[in-house]
Structure 1
């Protein structure tokens, strides 16, 4: 597949390493999570990742696109509109992202303590967009 990472035989022994290599990056998992709710424009992604810089987010999106996990669509309008969505290959990562979210929610609840912690953990997670079913 053009544009995708290629791996030599040393990766064949550890498929987990291959997966982590694709989603490793400070913001890639977060971007994949939010794109699981549907397409987003760049500024919408900036809003849901407020601790990243424009440069870093652009870099992470380019890598996700090069690896075939995200599709960037430029609409021929004035001014140009660009959105990002998961590719079919990126969609296959959604169970992994959901498992990471579930584990993170549980871990955060445990760290914050009990039912109170569960509520606080739920509040810290991004809200799903209304258009997502």
Structure 2
């Protein structure tokens, strides 16, 4: 009887300590850990690109260059999904061409040039 109670107590103590093994940002005690600065900056970059793309939609440029916008949206969506899956480096690699395309669009660079730059990105590979 005493041995059973002692084993039960040891098991409960071990289980009670397991919540410290939760990865950062994954609930429980892990919520105490701050989000790293580089990860926060990546999240902010994603949001800025989403806002910039929405602005381009509102300005009506989508109708003039639908393929370019569809590809840019796909790259942004890919980056968002990689970020949510915690593949941060791959998310950043997918986001870089989106940022470049949106910056060129905002600067008023001829969209045919931007489209050609965008097509060059299709043949790059990222190993996961």
Question: If the TM-score is normalised by the length of the shorter chain, which range does it land in?
Answer: under 0.3
Question: Structure 2-normalised TM-score?
Answer: 0.24
Task: Say which structure, 1 or 2, has more relative contact order (CA 8 Å, 6+ apart).
Answer: 1
Question: Structure 1-normalised TM-score?
Answer: 0.24
More helix per residue? 2
More strand per residue? 1
